[in-house]
A and B are shown apart, each in its own frame.
Chain A
């Protein structure tokens, strides 16, 4: 092969790659689509029969009967179908290549936004369950975990940044109870008890407060003429916690037992943290009045229990009790399987507690949107909101509900009729051994992924 040949090949390759990049990377794609004649479940403004929804440039611009189709616009005939806002999961780990830092009791300096993998099948499969937005949470290996990222399921985009929901507020994951204390025990460090968890958090907040005050003093004085002090040492760890104390970050706290939920309510009150969501919170129902009074919210499983001691005293009525006590509540997945049928998980609150259709659907739409601070963008079908829509055959709360289309920013990213089966973006040509997942997604929380080596957690052993 001559040098010219090689150069030729190289330049061809470069051209191809560049072409590819222009298509796949670049800005977030936004589309136009007209959904005709469906039963529109707006969530916040009632149900509208035989109604059209128009999305232009990725935003809902009109909800009305008989909207005329513009020339060239994609039209979906939703006659006999149910049109609802794209489902939102406030607790998920899909689309992430790593979820636990876990090398220290506090690691607020890390961010799941750095570990997004847009190629994961789980993103497409979530779309195939009508779910268009998820909260890509850090794991629960340590008391103060990492910052997390709200993502939009723009499956087909190759740029990790294109998954990030632009403008979504910053969030952070904390974890209480068995997971962080197991970690403490295996490292012989604090925390090893729920006393230690409280202390670790209070200590971190106190230190962050001092850090913040040092910087505030410096920033105030540095422009004063004659000031000669050096800036305080910079720490991303405490900078992040300082932002939490300043109210710039929403706290999502992995928790199970009522006592630890109560503990964090008090800690947050003492440090002035107001935006607080309890994740899992299987025993939140026991402190529902306290949660409601504090304005804290809960993001819970529909019916998971039994997989560890701290969920032993759970009840599937958790969500209904919380709703009846005035707590903003969502149903989450924490599972690449459950995220595909959150509509069914929400439906279980009708069996366990008799929630109305709107109440049940709010658990997977507007309520998780509030918990992620994106309720002005998504979570209901309203003019001006993002064009994120799920279209179902049969009512989404019915066991026979089947998602037909999922639309993100006006782009149809799931179409049941057109799904060819293999939807991988990047097949592994060297895959010789069958990967057959016995993990069904029903076995245990997924928060401890990636800590097998750290803590000696063996998934096989766990799967009893």
Chain B
């Protein structure tokens, strides 16, 4: 009887194995020791290494250089004629939150309420979002995913584009989002009167001031009572680390007047950690932003000027002009509606075409956002000890035709596949073609 059972077991195991094998259409990531040899290495922080090797082991970069010993047992990937870059970081996306536009059920970007900093983007990140493989196989490995909506729509998180739970994806940074009150008209669809716009913006600023003042009070009470004398107040509990400078405010601000008002507000309130995002008219206030020492995550770069009377290339040139004035500038894609965060290198490339130094633009999608998000000990450059989050490609990564060949995220080698490549494979030469039989 026992014999029969075990045979049964073996048969079932074999069947399972076959089934799993047949069904295994989505290849998994691969972990191990890798040697990427003969490559041109764009380290970002330590120049370019010709004919170099990068060793990846236990998820980390363990060696970088021209004369590196390949450890025994390492999987060697010959990168002759290829380049290695650190994974690019997009400082503003909705990845994992938005699956399909225009369908409320497929979007978790926005919660009810104007002041809801306690809403955490990280909670709602879907690790199986279609956009994840689509984005990472273009070399964008790490992104801010941010909530959207009212004045304080929630807390954004930095995630790596690989993992099976939000925790596995979490890259070690969160920031509280503020949509700074806008004094301008938002576009042709904004049909409010001038007065309504003014009122709305004043009301929002008052609201923001109230939140900050309350947060200060809450912080004082919390400090004085060592956390015992305060009541449950989720908004304020989220704001306390902001007031204390442990978590930054990510202030979305674009028009010149709004940038001026935001600079004034940050100074008045003595906000300790601030990141400006958007900043599409940063070139108009670049000197003041630099003076205030506030880092900027700007984008999209490939965008229409905000005003009719602005030069056609004002936004293309914006990042470069801010950098020139001494602002710390990271570039984001913000191609929200279309999910085209994979275009991040093109946004940086346009900044270069319209005046930004190429090295600065490369930093603006690697080490600079890593520094702004306080993860430069792990990400943003090819250095020993950092996470093995990098990619291999066949040319200048800003160039449109450049192909990304391999992507590693925290030492995991990614399958170079997305739904879009699968559709290509299936339909380039469709079978059956025109005639089925």
Q: Which residues of A contact B (CB under 8 A)?
A: 121-122, 124-125, 128, 178, 285-286, 288-290, 293, 303-309, 312-317, 320-321, 324, 336-337, 340-341, 344, 347-348, 350-353, 394, 397-402, 419, 421-424, 427, 432-444, 452, 459-460, 462-464
Q: Which residues of B contact A (CB under 8 A)?
A: 94, 98-103, 106-107, 109-110, 130-131, 148, 182-189, 194, 197, 254-258, 280-281, 300, 302-304, 306-313, 334-340, 342-343, 345-346, 349-350, 352-354, 398-403, 419-421, 423-424, 427-430, 433-434
Q: Are B423 and A285 in contact (CB under 8 A)?
A: yes
For the complex with contacts A336-B304, A337-B302, 12 further pairs of A-B residues with Cβ separation under 8 Å are A303-B343, A308-B100, A308-B101, A324-B429, A352-B420, A399-B346, A401-B353, A422-B311, A433-B185, A433-B194, A439-B186, A462-B102
Chain A residue with Cβ nearest B397: A399
Q: Are B420 and A440 in contact (CB under 8 A)?
A: no
How far is it, in angstroms, between the C-alpha of A451 and the C-alpha of B152 when the chains are bound?
A: 30
Q: Are B352 and A121 in contact (CB under 8 A)?
A: no
Chain A residue with Cβ nearest B348: A399
How far is it, in angstroms, between the C-alpha of A128 and the C-alpha of B312 when the chains are bound?
A: 7
- 15 CB contacts below 8 A, A to B, read A306-B99, A306-B100, A315-B420, A315-B423, A352-B420, A399-B400, A400-B399, A433-B185, A436-B182, A436-B255, A437-B188, A439-B188, A442-B338, A444-B337, A452-B189
Q: Are A400 and B101 in contact (CB under 8 A)?
A: no
Chain A residue with Cβ nearest B256: A434
Q: A307, A316, A436: which contacts B337 (Cβ < 8 A)? A: A307
Q: Closest CB of chain A to B308's CB: distance in Å?
A: 5
**Majority SS at the chain B contact face:** loop
Scoring B94, B186, B427 by chain A CB atoms within 10 A of each residue's CB, the highest score goes to B427
Q: B187, B302, B401, B421: which contacts A341 (Cβ < 8 A)? A: B302
A residues less than 8 Å from B281 (CB atoms): 436
A residues less than 8 Å from B337 (CB atoms): 306-307, 442-444, 462-464
Chain B residue with Cβ nearest A393: B353
Q: Closest CB of chain A to B98's CB: distance in Å?
A: 6
A residues less than 8 Å from B309 (CB atoms): 421-422, 424, 427
Q: Are A424 and B428 in contact (CB under 8 A)?
A: no
Q: Closest CB of chain A to B5's CB: distance in Å?
A: 46
Q: Closest CB of chain A to B130's CB: distance in Å?
A: 8
Q: Are B339 and A306 in contact (CB under 8 A)?
A: yes
Q: Are B110 and A290 in contact (CB under 8 A)?
A: no
Chain A residue with Cβ nearest B350: A399
Q: Are A434 and B257 in contact (CB under 8 A)?
A: yes
Chain B residue with Cβ nearest A336: B304
Q: Closest CB of chain B to A352's CB: distance in Å?
A: 7
How far is it, in angstroms, between the C-alpha of A441 and the C-alpha of B306 when the chains are bound?
A: 11
How far is it, in angstroms, between the C-alpha of A435 and the C-alpha of B188 when the chains are bound?
A: 8
Q: Closest CB of chain B to A446's CB: distance in Å?
A: 11
B residues less than 8 Å from A289 (CB atoms): 430, 433-434
B residues less than 8 Å from A305 (CB atoms): 338-340, 420
Q: Closest CB of chain B to A351's CB: distance in Å?
A: 5
Chain B residue with Cβ nearest A341: B302
A residues less than 8 Å from B182 (CB atoms): 436
Q: Closest CB of chain B to A134's CB: distance in Å?
A: 15
Q: B303, B400, B428: which contacts A337 (Cβ < 8 A)? A: B303
Q: Closest CB of chain B to A268's CB: distance in Å?
A: 17
Chain A residue with Cβ nearest B191: A452
A residues less than 8 Å from B194 (CB atoms): 432-433
Q: Closest CB of chain B to A133's CB: distance in Å?
A: 18
Q: Closest CB of chain A to B190's CB: distance in Å?
A: 8
Q: A312, A350, A437, A459: which contacts B306 (Cβ < 8 A)? A: A437
Q: Closest CB of chain A to B338's CB: distance in Å?
A: 5
Q: A121, A308, A341: which contacts B103 (Cβ < 8 A)? A: A308
Q: Are A304 and B340 in contact (CB under 8 A)?
A: yes
Q: Are A444 and B101 in contact (CB under 8 A)?
A: yes
Q: Are B430 and A464 in contact (CB under 8 A)?
A: no
Q: B189, B303, B339, B430: which contacts A288 (Cβ < 8 A)? A: B430
Q: Are A440 and B300 in contact (CB under 8 A)?
A: yes
Q: Are B306 and A436 in contact (CB under 8 A)?
A: yes
A residues less than 8 Å from B308 (CB atoms): 121, 424, 427, 435
How far is it, in angstroms, between the C-alpha of A348 and the C-alpha of B420 when the chains are bound?
A: 14
Q: Are A398 and B399 in contact (CB under 8 A)?
A: yes
Q: A315, A351, A421, A435: which contacts B311 (Cβ < 8 A)? A: A421
How far is it, in angstroms, between the C-alpha of A350 and the C-alpha of B194 when the chains are bound?
A: 47
Scoring B312, B346, B352, B419 by chain A CB atoms within 10 A of each residue's CB, the highest score goes to B312
How far is it, in angstroms, between the C-alpha of A131 and the C-alpha of B56 when the chains are bound?
A: 47
Q: Closest CB of chain A to B377's CB: distance in Å?
A: 31
Q: Are B433 and A350 in contact (CB under 8 A)?
A: no
How far is it, in angstroms, between the C-alpha of A124 and the C-alpha of B311 when the chains are bound?
A: 10
> 8 shortest A-B CB distances, which residue pairs?
A306-B339, A443-B337, A399-B349, A347-B400, A350-B401, A434-B184, A317-B424, A307-B101
Chain B residue with Cβ nearest A459: B189
B residues less than 8 Å from A348 (CB atoms): 400
Known: A351-B400, A464-B107. A309 touches B100 (CB 8 A): yes
Chain A residue with Cβ nearest B314: A421
B residues less than 8 Å from A442 (CB atoms): 300, 302-303, 334-338, 340
How far is it, in angstroms, between the C-alpha of A337 and the C-alpha of B254 when the chains are bound?
A: 18
A residues less than 8 Å from B94 (CB atoms): 464
Q: Closest CB of chain A to B397's CB: distance in Å?
A: 10
Q: Closest CB of chain B to A422's CB: distance in Å?
A: 4
A residues less than 8 Å from B349 (CB atoms): 399-400
How far is it, in angstroms, between the C-alpha of A401 and the C-alpha of B349 when the chains are bound?
A: 10
Q: Are B420 and A314 in contact (CB under 8 A)?
A: yes
Q: A306, A402, A443: which contacts B131 (Cβ < 8 A)? A: A306
Chain A residue with Cβ nearest B420: A315
How far is it, in angstroms, between the C-alpha of A363 and the C-alpha of B237 when the chains are bound?
A: 55
Q: A400, A440, A452, A462: which contacts B304 (Cβ < 8 A)? A: A440
Q: Closest CB of chain A to B78's CB: distance in Å?
A: 22
Q: A315, A433, A437: which contacts B419 (Cβ < 8 A)? A: A315
Q: Are A321 and B424 in contact (CB under 8 A)?
A: yes
Known: A419-B312, A434-B185, A464-B109. A440 touches B255 (CB 8 A): no
A residues less than 8 Å from B131 (CB atoms): 306
Q: Are A438 and B187 in contact (CB under 8 A)?
A: yes
How far is it, in angstroms, between the C-alpha of A60 and the C-alpha of B32 when the chains are bound?
A: 62
How far is it, in angstroms, between the C-alpha of A440 and the C-alpha of B434 when the chains are bound?
A: 40
Q: Closest CB of chain B to A20's CB: distance in Å?
A: 21
Scoring A437, A439, A441 by chain B CB atoms within 10 A of each residue's CB, the highest score goes to A437
B residues less than 8 Å from A288 (CB atoms): 427, 430
Known: A337-B304, A433-B194. A440 touches B334 (CB 8 A): yes
A residues less than 8 Å from B255 (CB atoms): 434, 436
Q: Are B338 and A306 in contact (CB under 8 A)?
A: yes
Chain A residue with Cβ nearest B338: A304
